[in-house]
Amino acid sequence: MLGTTRLPSGLSQSPTPSSCGAQLLRSVSNVGSLSKMLERGQQLPEAYRWSSSETAAAEDDPAELEDEVVVPVIDLAELDRSDERRKEICEEMRSACREWGAFQVVNHGVPDQVVERARRTSLDLFALPESDKLRAERPPGTLFGYGATRMASFFNRLMWSEAFTMMGSPHNNFEAYARKLCVHSEQDFCKSFEEYDKAMRGLALLITDLILHGLEASEERIHQHIRNFWGMIHMNFYPPCPSPSEAMGLASHTDSSCLTIMHQGSVGGLQVKRGDKWIAIKPVPGAFVIQVGDMLQLMSNNVFHSALHRALVNERFERLSLVYFFTPPPTVSICPIHPSKPLYRCLTWNEYLQVKAKLFMGALDHFLLPE
């Protein structure tokens, strides 16, 4: 399939093998400076300092705590018990996607060991010497590899995080990255991400199917369409931060994906915007956070909305979020699903990423049809 599909420049990035132990000639980019600063026990450097209005959370306002607003937690345990239960779950998802653009799922059937193995492998990856990680540095303007997060160029402050992205199924590049990074065992590295990718793909298909049913888009054609979607594995690492209230782990954004599945582990930090307030998505043991991405907003013709979210950091604990982006294939046309009055024109994921790289927050509006 790869041979017949025209890929966007970012998606065609396939790393060339590099010999482990070779000298790194490139200058070290700012992503490497996080761990060095921590070794020196420095204070938060100026470049990482965000204004208090940018980092303020709903929890800073005691009135908010009384409301106890929480993103819905949906239990999938009894999905197959009866048609009624399945319908209820579809309805819960529909309302969460409309009101929040996000929810959590529990009893999703993904074994703990699969998640734990992938988290351990991710942490090992971030713990590699900076020079090893930089062998896999993401080339500017592309999607895959190690470095500061892609949207960093839109902000004049640095974020307190490092990230790593790999292509998942159906064209995963785990092996090439294992080789580039000089990981301890290429086999373990690949196995743990292959397992995780497979589990995430299953869950993404299941949840997207349920959400589309909630949209009354149950035709076979649409479900077949989703089966061709691609996966991407993206990890964010947030070291403990000397002055968390002034720092930003990951700045406010929406995901371009169709659906995002995120495992945030036991250390919280993720927040979602509701109205003009930031609400924390508290870690629930074993749960995955599900977010509506821009592509699902478009496909739903604005019935659902992609959630604006961000990640804050803390002083005591390091934090890893393991993210799976479920996205359309790069050159396939994506349209609002059977509305009599489409709000958006059809687009390809390739096209969308190019516009997002230029406009960032305004990207989806760019595809709105004139009234």
Select the residue interacting with ligand J5X from 71, 143, 292, 299 (CB under 6 A).
143
321 is an interface residue for ligand AKG by CB under 6 A: yes
In the set 135, 179, 310, 319, the catalytic residue is 319
> Which among 81-89, 91-99, 143-151, 281-289 is the span making contact with ligand J5X, rule CB under 6 A?
143-151
The DSSP string of 95-157 is HHHHHTSEEEEES-S--HHHHHHHHHHHHHHHTS-HHHHHHTBPPTT-SSEEES-GGGGG-SS
Q: Closest approach of Cβ 281 to ligand AKG, in Å?
A: 8
The DSSP string of 44-66 is PPGGGPPPHHHH--GGGSHHHHH
Angle at 307 between CA 362 and CA 53, to 5 degrees: 75
Residue 104 CB burial class (10 angstroms; 0-12, 13-18, ≥19): buried
Neighbouring CB atoms inside 10 A of 346's CB total 13
The tokens of 344 are what?
């958006």
Neighbouring CB atoms inside 10 A of 269's CB total 23
Select the residue interacting with Fe ion from 162, 246, 255, 294 (CB under 5 A).
255
Number of C-alpha atoms within 13 angstroms, CB side, residue 181? 31
309 is an interface residue for ligand J5X by CB under 6 A: no
Q: Which amino acid is at 21?
A: G
User: Is-catalytic flag, 319?
Assistant: yes
By beta-carbon proximity to ligand AKG, the closer residue of 55 and 301 is: 55
Select the residue interacting with ligand J5X from 94, 119, 133, 150 (CB under 6 A).
150
By beta-carbon proximity to ligand AKG, the closer residue of 119 and 309 is: 309
Select the residue interacting with ligand AKG from 55, 192, 264, 297 (CB under 6 A).
264
By beta-carbon proximity to ligand J5X, the closer residue of 9 and 218 is: 9
- From residue 266 to residue 285, the character string flagging contacts with ligand J5X as x (rule: CB under 6 A) and all else as - is --------------------
By beta-carbon proximity to ligand AKG, the closer residue of 121 and 236 is: 236
56 is an interface residue for ligand J5X by CB under 6 A: no
Neighbouring CB atoms inside 10 A of 7's CB total 15
Per CB under 6 A, residues contacting ligand J5X are 143, 149-151, 165, 232, 234, 253, 255-257, 325, 327, 356
Name the residues annotated as catalytic. 319
Where does this chain bind ligand AKG (CB under 6 A)?
234, 236, 250, 255, 262, 264, 269-270, 309, 311, 321, 323
